[in-house]
């Protein structure tokens, strides 16, 4: 199966590095909940961020028919 690669996320949290591709989330508080607490980071534009292709799904966001758990289906991970 030859899945298309996903576009790189447009935004990323400056604290937990969670990616997002919702433009309206930019400059808003991160909505990720970790251990029952909402992340206090802010979503910043990731246009100039460096992204690494997810090794598990090769930027397709899927492993077989399942969403890739490694990158939560985004296909990309922020380069850290």
Binding to Zn ion (CB under 5 A) within 13-72 occurs at 13, 15-16, 18, 30, 32, 39, 41, 54, 56-57, 68, 70-71
Q: Please state the φ and ψ torsions of residue 24, each to the nearest 5 degrees.
A: -70, -10
Give min distance, CB of 37 to Zn ion, in A: 11
State yes or no: residue 78 binds Zn ion (CB under 5 A): no
Contact 61, 73 (CB under 8 A): yes
Contact 60, 75 (CB under 8 A): yes
Residues that bind Zn ion (CB under 5 A): 13, 15-16, 18, 30, 32, 39, 41, 54, 56-57, 68, 70-71
């Amino acid at each position: 199966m030859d899945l298309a690669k996903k576009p790189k996320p447009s935004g990323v949290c400056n604290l937990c590095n969670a990616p997002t591709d919702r433009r309206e989330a930019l400059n808003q508080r991160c909505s990720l909940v970790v251990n029952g607490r909402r992340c206090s980071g802010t979503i910043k534009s990731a246009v100039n961020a460096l992204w690494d292709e997810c090794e598990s799904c090769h930027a397709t966001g899927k492993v077989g028919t399942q969403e890739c758990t490694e990158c939560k289906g985004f296909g990309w991970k922020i380069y850290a």
